[in-house]
A = this chain, B = another copy of it.
Amino acid sequence: MSRVTINDIARRAGVSKGAVSYALNGRPGVSEETRHKILDVAQELGWAPNRTARMLSGSRTETFGLVLARDPRTLGSEPFYMEFVAGLQSELSRRGYALLLQLTPTAENELELYPRWWSERRVDAVVVVDIRVSDPRVAALGELGVPAVFVGDPAMTGGFTTVWTDDATAMASAVRRLVELGHRRFGRVAGTPGLSHTRVRDLAFTQAVAAEGLTGTILHADFSDVAGGRATRELWDHPEPPTAIVYDNDLMAIAGLSALSELGISVPHDVSLLAWDDSALCTITHPKLSAMHHDVMAFGAHVGRRLFDLLVGAEPAAHLDSTPVLVERESTAPAPR
């Protein structure tokens, strides 16, 4: 196969050579739509960047880093990170970038990694996830001068480039819709406490329920199926159990559905369940799960684009990703009488 040139891409995409160059080098100067089109054509034609030319223009590692401070066991069945990484990779692979991925047992181990990666020039920039309240990574990466995109509430990311979702608004709309359906007692099976998005959703849930003069119970779990099932049974054991439960991810909602179904409790007749994220899993349960829909792959791709922005000197900014919206399927219904 003869080598694909910028000319070939420009001709096929119907744009100028300059536009192709801007798009392929991740520089501003073309619209997001045109950039997408050009990258799609480049990929279709099998364009490979000329590494030598790139090396001369800088000393890029063509690698971004991502550290997950988690027990590997919790990653296997949780669709969120696989979808996020898949979305991130979809942007990276279009430009020949790889992802350096490392799991560490603790947040302390994570902090030790960044100076090593940076001093050895193993990454051009990093993605920082699972933002915690008072997150020490803000100061650590700031001191090192590592370009980074934080994924989480911009109030907690100290001026770094941030991609975030407005979970407070999403949670308020979820509760509002359940109130419209006649629900008066609410449960929330929340993710790991200490994470900023768990905190944001906790607060929004409490406020939304209180604003209606209603009651709500929050139980914290850890996003796993086991903990999700356990928390659901615990909510149901209450003398006055909730008639609607909002979950912090899909896996816990599916486990909750399964736990209730084992107890002979009908969803949505006896209790409404609302999942969060809306992976493919929500449509293959029976009943299908209603969910706060968030396109996690697109979210990962969005983070990928902001990483490339950093390489061309973009100013730090908070980028709002799409706000999760309620998709009603079969697990939510009017409250039982």
Contacts and interface: CB of A to CB of B under 8 A. Distances in A.
A191 interface: no
A90 interface: yes
8 contacts: A92-B103, A98-B100, A98-B101, A99-B102, A225-B283, A225-B284, A254-B281, A285-B285
A285 B287 CA distance: 10
Contacts of A285: 258, 285-286
Interface residues of A, number: 57
B63 A100 contact: yes
A177 interface: no
Interface string A91-114: 011000111111111101100100
A288 to B, nearest CB: 8
Interface stretch (A71-79, A213-221, A233-241): A71-79
Interface string A46-71: 10100100000000000101000000
Interface stretch (A25-33, A80-88, A181-189): A80-88
A75 B81 CA distance: 10
A262 B329 CA distance: 14
Given A73-B86, A99-B102, 10 more contacts: A51-B116, A72-B87, A76-B86, A76-B297, A86-B103, A93-B102, A93-B104, A97-B102, A258-B283, A258-B285
Contacts of A155: none
Given A76-B82, A255-B284, A279-B77, A102 B112 contact: no
A63 B100 CA distance: 8
A50 to B, nearest CB: 12
B89 A101 contact: yes
A34 interface: no
